[in-house]
Amino acid sequence: MTGMGAVTALGRGVARQWSAIAAGEDGIRPIERFSTDGFDVRLGGVVADRNCAGAGDAALCIELGIDAAREAWAAAGLAGVPAERIALVVGSSLGDERVPLHEVTCAIGDAVGARGPRLTVSTACTSSTNALGLALDLLEQGAADAVIAGGTDVLTPLVHAGFHALGVLSIGKCAPFSQPAGTTLGEGAGFVVLERRADARRRGARSDRAVLGYGLSADGYHETGPDPSGGGVARALRGALAHAGVGADAIGYVNAHGTGTTAGDPAEWRALRQVLGERAAHVPVSASKSFFGHAQGAAGVVEVIATLVALDHDAIPPTRNFAGPRPHAPADPVAQDRPRPHVYDLALCNNSGFGGANCALVVGRTPAVELAAAPPRPIYVIGAGAVGPHGTSAEALLAALTETPPASDAPRLDAIAPAIHLRGADPSMRYLVAAASLALADARLRVRGPARERTGLIVGMNHVSPDSHDALQRTID
């Protein structure tokens, strides 16, 4: 990791993030950008100064993203790296309602001159954590020599109203593992520059911090709630350790997702106990959302930055606002206002999101010996499914592409996946479920039992159905 950049409720720049944390200052304040009349909760981790060196009148998420990405780019000294070999991976949950997410990525890429692969990741509150993991993949595959990876998200009336309706917002400042229960929403942007160690050293860039591995999983339990057992989070944590090639005994600190909710905090602690074993009672576990608020899709990267800046100072960020533990709280939540001195080499950073998405990273000091990349494995396509105006079969698709297709009625999607209740679902999701069901049937695969934990899903999408978006907006208005 050769460069970092951040804009959060604590202020602009990585140095400001640390000075605020070191002083025990949080960025949670009354929301003034939009009206909170009619809501019990009026606090947020909002960016106070909009005068970023960004995109003028552009959407705030673009403005924040450009500012953070430029700081990371400058810190890494990428001016000498060919633009075609610089990739960009942007994670965002909802971004800004005024612009599609891919336009956010394009604007940031243009601002920093990244002309390699540009990818957008949207996996709820794990978006930027996923972005860092995907950056590792691009480097391991040789698709880029440097990757600017991170995320940007803003607090909007839609997001505030949605979380308020779920009843998961705290009436006070976010107090992970403590009281009052509930989270505080935030916003911001963070980006880091990742390179292969040999390339960084050849350029004379700083190379003593690293992302060593990442792990992914999905609970498959509930649309907005975590699996109470913590099993999904535990799989992501183990995956990160395995990818990094280290054991749980190498971890000296955990920066937890720690939203402050009565469902999320206990599930995460159960997962950590499963992974760390007896050491869970001794490894410090803190939550930086007590400083930033919950920065949504940008949460993961700003918490990684907080972890690594603290590591530079041989310290760990604390959990602020701690007024005594709730049931199933970490044994050592670092319950204080200022950082605690602590010498360690590796940390786990964990994030979870709606839909049961989980992503964990192993970060820390660059190891003395570079870890060998896993050998490439052959990948095979064993099934395919397509749904559209042509119908619901590969034969119909081929016919539509090669000849004038006959007029046909809209496909009956409920007949393709009868066990799944699609009534009332967004049309985009209906097509997705049908196509995925056809692909599994074509591959003769039955995803049952333990096989579900080894089955992944990647979806490419431009936007949701306009009708669904408008219907949701009417509930907010």
User: Which residues are marked as active site?
Assistant: 125, 257, 294
Rounded Cα gap, residues 212 and 168, in angstroms: 33
Whole-Å CA distances, 394 to 235, 381, 417: 35, 14, 17
- Are the C-beta atoms of 312 and 320 separated by less than 8 Å? no
Q: Both tokens of residue 210? A: 């690293």
Burial label for 127, CB within 10 Å (0-12, 13-18, 19+), is buried
| Secondary structure element (H or E) that encloses residue 73, with its range | helix 60-76
Q: Which residue has the tokens 């949670």?
A: 28
Q: Which of 352, 227, 341 is nearest to 289 (CA)?
A: 352
Q: Both tokens of residue 454? A: 């080894």
Question: Would you give the distance in Å from CA 247 to the centre of its chain?
Answer: 24
Q: Which of 195, 197, 166 is nearest to 183 (CA)?
A: 166
Give, to the nearest 10 degrees, the angle between helix 299-312 and helix 127-140.
Answer: 70
- Are the C-beta atoms of 216 and 359 separated by less than 8 Å? yes
Q: Both tokens of residue 397? A: 């698709």
Residue 77: count other Cβ atoms within 10 Å of its Cβ: 16
Question: Would you give the distance in Å from CA 388 to the centre of its chain?
Answer: 31
What is the layout of strands, in order, in the sheet containing 188-195? 11-12, 3-8, 188-195, 146-153, 86-91, 118-121
Q: Which of 229, 248, 121, 128 is nearest to 453 (CA)?
A: 229
DSSP letter for each residue of 230-275: -HHHHHHHHHHHHHHT--GGGEEEEE------TTHHHHHHHHHHHH
Q: Both tokens of residue 417? A: 């996946």
**CA count, 13 A, side-chain hemisphere, 108:** 42
Rounded Cα gap, residues 318 and 288, in angstroms: 7
Q: How do beta strands 251-255 and 285-286 pair?
A: parallel
**CA count, 13 A, side-chain hemisphere, 283:** 24
